[in-house]
Structure 1
């Protein structure tokens, strides 16, 4: 998969170098308490030497090559999108040539992975990436004041003869750029609006205002509506074409985009409330704030354990997992923290590699009844920004949605996108919709990401010299790209084949580096033995032994049967089993013996807990 010797040397030199070379932002000095037990909401002060690293509202970073030069490819070296104005092919034309699902095999479902691999992947991506458009602009309207302004607008056209769209302009607003100051690089860089750490900010928010809004006032609980569903607000971005629809909100504003994303948000709201309620019973002397923060610590630890030991192995091959030291230790502490490593998100991850999951999106968001055979199908394009499936009858259909996501197959990681996102993206909101694959190409160009071949070289892989090296699609690419060296990163990387359906080697390289940094650059990493905030060894071992998304899933959604590994299709080695047979975290290990009394031990005795 990789050119092993060169790859190992290049990657680990790059990790060190790129961790030391970062983009500074001119901000007021931050006074950080050195003994803080809990993370800040905005991610500041995780790194005590560089308090802004990883916090919200800082710039995306650039990986640097072996010479220490940033991997950036703006057309003018500063801000013009790569290939601007007409040096690269129309993104919709490229999409039609390589991403149309009709060009792929009849069955494009993954043999091993469930829909939750895609759904959870979207949730996790929203935990550390959010770039925003510079303004609410219609770049296709010549009356808009920003029309024709390349600093704001980068629309693309639908060519004549397109089978799904009439010739037209597709709006594309460039992501918000960081303000220039004396510390800025000479080129344009985008702002990440949320924290870079895996810290469940999709649940708790990255700003104080959001963190307050999602909590029940003067309580340790998160807000819910009747039926124990996501709380709702007046207004919001939801479609209101169904009676009694309310717009749900969560720690991340994107929770309403599709039902399965809302479902995973609800999962963690319920898990927080489940754990915090038990912690309060266990430690009656704790203040509401302490109960909340201790629950937050546990949720984040569980999330980090799931991401690195269950989710990433379903995305990356074993070689990549080991090369970048992504697995946790089976037992005990693992002091991986390095304060020279900047955990902030970098552009090639945000603008391309993290988008591999778009190819896994299924064409429907459906319900599976309790006999596991009756399916009620809802087309994905009909569910955008429509929370009806989650809210009808006060959430009574939620169990049916959970069975479908947990047991049905995702699409493969490949170049093919289902019609719901390639031809009908948000069509129920802005007809006739848009093309996610084309938008991904446009995003990489507007962020100045170098071409695919440059990333192969960066990762120690042999650069392509001829179009035929792309296989079947080589001739198609040669019909629109002038050179192999022009092919966009996301186009070339999604054409690669990974081991057993994992991502290909170029994206594996970029993902491996970023996830290594998210782990090693996090002072509060859940395996840390720092006495100021570490779990006891018994608590940590319980988290490692008992944490599984399957248990969190079936406990909070009230379903009876689930496979042990929710990311893999149920089969002989991963059979459906009763939820009570899956181990739960032992919260008695969090018993504060300074509290005068608690009924917890009498109610929850024994080694395993199912409720």
Structure 2
């Protein structure tokens, strides 16, 4: 195992430098008919512009026919709504134009795309002409800025767009599209079509209700993994006219069939759950390559790639401004110190007095346990801002906000690498990739040559491993009586009502429940709540998350499972037996089932192949996913100029401040921002003989006096009491926000709790 990891680690430098198809681009082949090249490029661009216009006309027909909004009540659109509709729509159009122009140029010149990309004469003429319809501005950086930008730009001063929001994902391997450019992989290497993702889901991922996690890991681990994903990843699906939802079912609907964004999942006959033959699936929104160069289809990441708590603060300056209170460095909150109100179309309301929540990511209420964790982190921001203001009364709102945001981002980084990842990855992966923080002091690992941009494979497959651990229930648990109420997960999607329980005390009770409840076992199986009832609507329609993940990988052009095995330095499977030369990291039954739904080992989708691997001892992921995850998190650490352990002048923390930050534990944050007074030390495992409950007052305290800005002429002395660290009531500002009351739409009353 160690030798494999060393080989895998050596591949890291090559991986981060590999963009799109660079690895396969020849340098000796040239397009030679240069006199006609300008006309060929102009004609190709014109053809693409015409095709885009036809696409928009088809979307308008769909919208006018009323089909475009039919899926809205299902909730899928809520979870994938654009954070910045105007910007994403423009980028999606620009990407469409560049990809379709490149595709047309390949056809007209009869020259493979890699050959055209490698020819400087072609590239220069392309850039000259494409500039009139597509541009990707490069931000101007101020090297003296001491805080992160909201959108992640200028983190790397030499490559200011690396890791920033509204940019394409990075590719570690060339994309695997059927036509090499944009058509999803749908055919076997042996010929014939691949099986539908729903068939694969039925065979490999079906279970009903699986076992609980054998290691006693709590639901909070699943919630933290989700919130980390929202910090790093945000891929919206393409949308129709006026940001409406696109309906691709039923298959054969003439207007929908004309829309390139449609890629519906075929449902087999006699499916035990679904009666139709089609599951709606819309392709992800895309982004053009840098300088709008010729390239294959690539998807847009709306979030910053850095671990910067952008799920709280937002990944654009406009979002960040919207969430700020405007005084004291505070974030806005709602009544009862809940998240602030948002538009009522962003969730499903169950009772009068409830409201949807606003945060840095609109997916904050996917399930109640996620929203409860969000609330704790926003409260922690406001608690710290209040105490910093106490110690530094002359600091402006801007200074208080940025210093607090810097501290919260450091907390999130420290918890991820020292509490969360050790559950996900084995100790040897953690050590080989340098993922543990140093026990004390600085750790200057920043390398400006490393590109930390989130990889497509990370977001579309590897970091979706946690979907298997989503439990069958959500719930609340009384802090005193221990009385618990559980609700089927499918009845809680996008519904914040559990957080409003008991006059607003639901946040504490949901958090107490997820601290004391075991998540589903991490394996190849999905619960019915996610595999058959995802975003269940009032008509009984739902989705299959396992099938969607498989289809999303094909949509994104992810290479097969075997390709990633090779990239990781692991042996590819040459046959379907769980023996040498075959599926050596699968149990015999999984290997047999894979042979039932794939014609050749090279056909296996990465998501299914990786998820069905046997877990490495001491982790919850198999070798292939562990490899991809470890590499990505290494890049996120070593490619971040603002990494919390760096001692860059003016950017990093002082030695004393860093010492305090390294004391932080998620259990402390839970104590400080809820009414929980006793908690287990490791919140990612339920209480046990080896993870005993302790009083909150016994946990290490973060001393914010090290942030006192001392003047030359004055020495500030502040009395400090334990009340300033642990409060019987949450010390957060309560905005004078109206408690909005929304009437529940009649169409949703059938699933009220």
TM range (shorter): over 0.9
Whether 2:665 is the aligned partner of 1:548: answer: yes
Whether 2:593 is the aligned partner of 1:476: answer: yes
Residue 218 of structure 2 is matched in structure 1 by 114
Residue 275 of structure 1 is matched in structure 2 by 384
Residue 313 of structure 2 is matched in structure 1 by 204
Distance (Å, rounded) in 1 between the aligned partners of 2:309 and 2:712: 29
Distance (Å, rounded) in 2 between the aligned partners of 1:181 and 1:564: 46
Counterparts in 2 of 1:374 and 1:581: CA distance versus 1, 3 Å: same
Counterparts in 2 of 1:406 and 1:597: CA distance versus 1, 3 Å: farther
1:433-459: CA deviations, max 9, x gaps? Answer: 010000000001111111111111211
Aligned to 1:111, the other structure's residue is in SS state coil
The RMSD of aligned alpha carbons is: 2.3
With the length of structure 2 as denominator, give the TM-score of the two structures: 0.76
Residue 196 of structure 2 is matched in structure 1 by 90
Counterparts in 2 of 1:146 and 1:53: CA distance versus 1, 3 Å: farther
Residue 38 of structure 2 is matched in structure 1 by none
1:334–1:527: 8 Å Cα contact kept in structure 2? yes
Structure 1 residue 100, shift from structure 2 partner: 1.1
Whether 2:181 is the aligned partner of 1:78: answer: yes
Structure 1 residue 490, shift from structure 2 partner: 0.8
Structure 1 residue 264, shift from structure 2 partner: 1.3
Structure 1 residue 479, shift from structure 2 partner: 2.0
- For residues 141-152 of structure 1, what are the structure 2 equivalents within 5 Å? 141=250, 147-149=256-258, 151-152=260-261
Counterparts in 2 of 1:600 and 1:264: CA distance versus 1, 3 Å: farther
Residue 131 of structure 1 is matched in structure 2 by 235
* Greater alpha carbon shift after TM alignment, 453-462 vs 82-91: 82-91
Residue 67 of structure 1 is matched in structure 2 by none
* Greater alpha carbon shift after TM alignment, 42-51 vs 410-419: 410-419
Q: Which runs of 5+ in 2 are unaligned?
A: 23-133, 240-244, 579-585, 728-753
1:456-501: CA deviations, max 9, x gaps? Answer: 1211112222223242122222222111221111111111122135
Structure 1 residue 595, shift from structure 2 partner: 9.1
Distance (Å, rounded) in 2 between the aligned partners of 1:591 and 1:430: 58
Distance (Å, rounded) in 2 between the aligned partners of 1:320 and 1:538: 30
Distance (Å, rounded) in 1 between the aligned partners of 2:460 and 2:700: 38
- For residues 516-527 of structure 1, what are the structure 2 equivalents within 5 Å? 516-527=634-645
Structure 1 residue 573, shift from structure 2 partner: 2.6
- For residues 14-93 of structure 1, what are the structure 2 equivalents within 5 Å? 14-22=11-19, 27-63=136-172, 70-83=173-186, 87-93=193-199
Structure 1 residue 263, shift from structure 2 partner: 0.9
Counterparts in 2 of 1:491 and 1:476: CA distance versus 1, 3 Å: same
Looking at CA atoms only, which structure, 1 or 2, has the larger radius of gyration? 2
Residue 570 of structure 1 is matched in structure 2 by 687
1:178-234: CA deviations, max 9, x gaps? Answer: 236755353110010110000000111011111111111344111111111111133
Distance (Å, rounded) in 2 between the aligned partners of 1:396 and 1:182: 51
Whether 2:716 is the aligned partner of 1:610: answer: no
Distance (Å, rounded) in 1 between the aligned partners of 2:715 and 2:248: 61
Counterparts in 2 of 1:293 and 1:434: CA distance versus 1, 3 Å: same
1:285–1:595: 8 Å Cα contact kept in structure 2? no
Q: Which runs of 5+ in 1 are unaligned?
A: 64-69
Instruction: Tell me which of 534, 541, 552 is aligned to 1:443.
Output: 552
1:133-176: CA deviations, max 9, x gaps? Answer: 11121111579786224731110122111111113311111001
Counterparts in 2 of 1:490 and 1:600: CA distance versus 1, 3 Å: farther
Counterparts in 2 of 1:502 and 1:233: CA distance versus 1, 3 Å: closer
1:489-541: CA deviations, max 9, x gaps? Answer: 11111111221352111000000000000000000000001012111101101
Aligned to 1:378, the other structure's residue is in SS state strand
Counterparts in 2 of 1:463 and 1:266: CA distance versus 1, 3 Å: same
1:239–1:429: 8 Å Cα contact kept in structure 2? no
Counterparts in 2 of 1:374 and 1:532: CA distance versus 1, 3 Å: same
1:110–1:501: 8 Å Cα contact kept in structure 2? no
Q: How many residues align?
A: 598
Greater helix fraction, Structure 1 or Structure 2: 2
* Greater alpha carbon shift after TM alignment, 188-197 vs 243-252: 243-252
Aligned to 1:161, the other structure's residue is in SS state coil
* Greater alpha carbon shift after TM alignment, 576-585 vs 509-518: 576-585
Distance (Å, rounded) in 1 between the aligned partners of 2:349 and 2:445: 48
Aligned to 2:334, the other structure's residue is in SS state coil
Distance (Å, rounded) in 2 between the aligned partners of 1:22 and 1:372: 56
Residue 536 of structure 1 is matched in structure 2 by 654
- For residues 285-434 of structure 1, what are the structure 2 equivalents within 5 Å? 285-371=394-480, 373-428=482-537, 431-434=540-543
Aligned to 1:389, the other structure's residue is in SS state helix
Distance (Å, rounded) in 2 between the aligned partners of 1:253 and 1:279: 28
1:412–1:501: 8 Å Cα contact kept in structure 2? no
1:157–1:167: 8 Å Cα contact kept in structure 2? no
Counterparts in 2 of 1:145 and 1:43: CA distance versus 1, 3 Å: farther
Instruction: Tell me which of 673, 677, 683 is aligned to 1:560.
Output: 677
Counterparts in 2 of 1:181 and 1:19: CA distance versus 1, 3 Å: closer
Distance (Å, rounded) in 2 between the aligned partners of 1:210 and 1:346: 24
Counterparts in 2 of 1:148 and 1:221: CA distance versus 1, 3 Å: same
